[in-house]
């Protein structure tokens, strides 16, 4: 909750901000959903619900602000995260039918999550090895650099 200086009501400093933040960051959201096991109740909608709550918070906090709050998601495991679209029902829908394939097929969360964002970037770590004569034992040295793509 933000407050204005002209507001005469006492507001707790721990629960209020003097101004609207310019950026809201969600970091490593997939860590909440990993490791994936068959009994997990999480679905793609679970992940996207957290993203949409953050977007709603950003919109709520900055409706009258001259500069709207920006929202970003940094998630290094997003490309690996696969969750089912629907949960498996705990009670069979039709008691007379037996379905051998009751485990839901996991789908890529990244594919759906990309639709929520204007820009999507991917960083890939490239490790290069080179021989260095300047090193004390004339050993190979490795460098890492990041490649960014849209």
pLDDT tens digit sequence for 27-50: 999 888 888 766 678 889 999 999
CB 85 within 8 A of CB 107: yes
Quick one: CA torsion of 32, 50, 107, 80, rounded to 10 degrees? -40
Domain residue limits at 89: 23-122
Beta partners for residue 123, in sequence order: 148
Of the two residues 26 and 38, the one the predictor is more confident about is 26
Compute the mean pLDDT over every residue in the chain, rounded to the nearest whole number.
74
In a domain, 36, yes or no: yes
d(CA 67, CA 4): 16
CB 22 within 8 A of CB 87: no
Say if residue 67's pLDDT is above 60: yes
Say if residue 53's pLDDT is above 90: yes
> How many structural domains compose the chain?
1
In a domain, 132, yes or no: no
CB 104 within 8 A of CB 86: yes
In a domain, 137, yes or no: no
Q: What is the pTM of this model?
A: 0.65
In a domain, 4, yes or no: no
In a domain, 149, yes or no: no
In a domain, 89, yes or no: yes
């Amino acid at each position: 909750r933000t407050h204005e200086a002209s507001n005469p009501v006492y507001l707790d400093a721990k629960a209020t901000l003097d101004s609207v933040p310019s950026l809201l960051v969600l970091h490593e959201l997939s860590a909440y959903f990993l490791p994936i096991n068959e009994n997990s109740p999480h679905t793609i909608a679970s992940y996207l619900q957290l993203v949409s709550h953050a977007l709603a918070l950003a919109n709520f906090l900055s409706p009258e602000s001259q500069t709207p709050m920006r929202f970003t998601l940094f998630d290094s495991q997003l490309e690996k995260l696969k969750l089912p679209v629907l949960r498996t029902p705990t009670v069979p829908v039709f008691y007379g039918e037996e379905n051998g394939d009751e485990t839901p097929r996991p789908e890529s969360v990244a594919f759906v999550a990309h639709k929520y964002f204007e820009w999507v970037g991917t960083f890939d770590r490239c490790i290069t090895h080179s021989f260095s004569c300047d090193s004390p034992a004339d050993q190979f040295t490795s460098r890492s650099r990041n490649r960014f793509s849209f």
